[in-house]
Amino acid sequence: MDELNQDRSAKRKRTTGVRRSMKKSTRVDLTPMVDLGFLLITFFIFTTSLSRPNALAIRLPKDVPDNEREKIPVSGALTLLPSENNRVYYYEKDNYQDMHSTGFSGIRSLIVTKKTSTKPGDFMVIIKPGPDATYKNTIQLLDEMTINEVKRYALVDIDVNEYEWIKKIEK
């Protein structure tokens, strides 16, 4: 039990004349204050709401046999390959040898142009980050899919031939 006492050892000067009575020390019991502190702490701990971690929602495709899969025409495919130095290489259809390069500022207009020139059911974006791509650049591309309301997009490993072609272009 905690208590607060006044010092009794203080000696009083003797004075002649009026005799004063000895004052008794006051005793303050701090136990209820400590109890109240712990009650407040537990109240605030139990009533706070913890923040939920924000995670990127990725819907994975169902395991469907090849003969039942929906086929996307090659003409509606746009492939984006993020690379080092904030560069993004892209090509349309399946011809990676007709690859072009742009920065992240030009990606949105590229997606909008391809989306408007393609039938809505045929449009698909394929994102293929290579070993030189940063996590930040990949997330920026996924954010662009959300901003531009791209319904179909896939995150796929880069092909060895595409990676070698990019290295040949960068030389």
What pLDDT digit, counting tens, does each position of 55-89 carry?
A: 767 666 666 676 666 677 888 889 999 988 888 99
99-149, pLDDT tens digit by residue? 888 888 889 999 999 999 988 888 899 999 988 888 899 999 999 999 998
CB-CB contact of 79 with 128 (8 Å): yes
Q: Which two tokens stand for residue 99?
A: 């690859």
Domain that holds residue 121: 73-170
Measured from the Cβ of residue 93, the count of other Cβ atoms closer than 10 Å reads: 13
Residue 128 domain flag: yes
Global confidence as pTM: 0.61
Is 67 among the domain residues? no
Q: 136 by DSSP, 3-state: which?
A: helix
102 belongs to a structural domain: yes
C-alpha 20, offset from chain centre:
73
Would 25 be classed as within a structural domain? no
Q: How many domains does the chain have?
A: 1
Look up the CATH number of the domain holding residue 139: 3.30.420
- In the chain, the amino acid numbered 156 is V
Q: How far apart are CA 137 and CA 125, in angstroms?
A: 16
